[in-house]
Amino acid sequence: MFNGKNILITGGTGSFGKQYTKTLLERYKPQKIVIFSRDELKQYEMAQVYNQPCMRYFLGDVRDESRLKEATNGIDYIIHAAALKQVPAAEYNPTECIKTNIYGAQNVIAAALVNGVEKVIALSTDKAANPINLYGATKLASDKLFVAANNMAGSRKTRFSVVRYGNVIGSRGSVVPFFKKLIKEGAREIPITDIEMTRFMITLQQGVDFVLKNFERMKGGETFIPKIPSMKIIDVANALAPNLPHKIIGIRPGEKIHETMCPSDDSHITYEFEDYFVIAPTIQFNFITDFSVNALGESGKLVQRGFEYNSGSNTEWLSKEEFLELTKEIE
């Protein structure tokens, strides 16, 4: 569905944006891929690798609505990946996080509506479910904006959906490259925040594939959540450095012991499909009534009341061997 299409990726020079671009170029023949981001050096470096005729690089900030409207002209699909994502940094710099994650989301929506974009998928995070930190709260607000945007569209064709998933193995900011760096530098111990801490685990490619597929599945207004395994952070450390001792350093500002992707409070509007969940909107749309069937005709069923998809009570867990297999290509 991406052949001959114009695609814009906000925050396109990040881990996800680069992998998404690589995948689009390998599998499809898009007319244009627009990388929208604010860092000229990262754009320059990315352009050395992805310099195909369809590639375009737009310097700009999602905080700048007018620049976004320029970049979005003629675009068919948007992947909104731009965000301030570091939990401790957001706790100490809340206003900056709000400007990018909330006001930036609204600017993407406005640009998409003005330019008649067909479909928009916004990337969310497990931290947006029952948030206890500023980053998660801003992403929940962003998710709500994108869901509500389907009503703002009125008679226009633009549809908006959200994709939420957990810790991306090997992405910038992930614990995996951090641990690997320590090991490479000859660290004598591995810092662990809490021995009980768990996280959902997904690879960058799995995340990209999930987003790609959801462009086909989406009707507008859904939050898509993949079924993915969990792992204890202490097991991650043991897998990467089995002979190194651990140093318990305590939970960082805004961190949870376990992450949630489907809160129990949303169980009455959560549908289980074969390999993913869908949280339906809490508000009514004029154009849709049934989220138990997606645009591809796949059917899901309502989960039991009180169901919660939590990394600590997950039924699927990554073994150390499986984890190491997934991390082989991570530097």
| 18 is known as an active-site residue | no
CA distance linking residue 125 with residue 163, whole number of Å: 8
Contact partners, residue 297, CB within 8 Å, separation at least 6: none
Q: What is the DSSP letter of 99?
A: I
Contact partners, residue 91, CB within 8 Å, separation at least 6: 133, 134, 135, 253, 254
Of the residues 5, 127, 219, 232, only one is catalytic, namely: 127
119 by Cβ neighbours in 10 Å (0-12 / 13-18 / 19+) ranks as buried
- Backbone φ and ψ of 216, nearest 5°: -80, -35
Contact partners, residue 148, CB within 8 Å, separation at least 6: 283
Q: What is the DSSP letter of 128?
A: G
Active site residues: 127
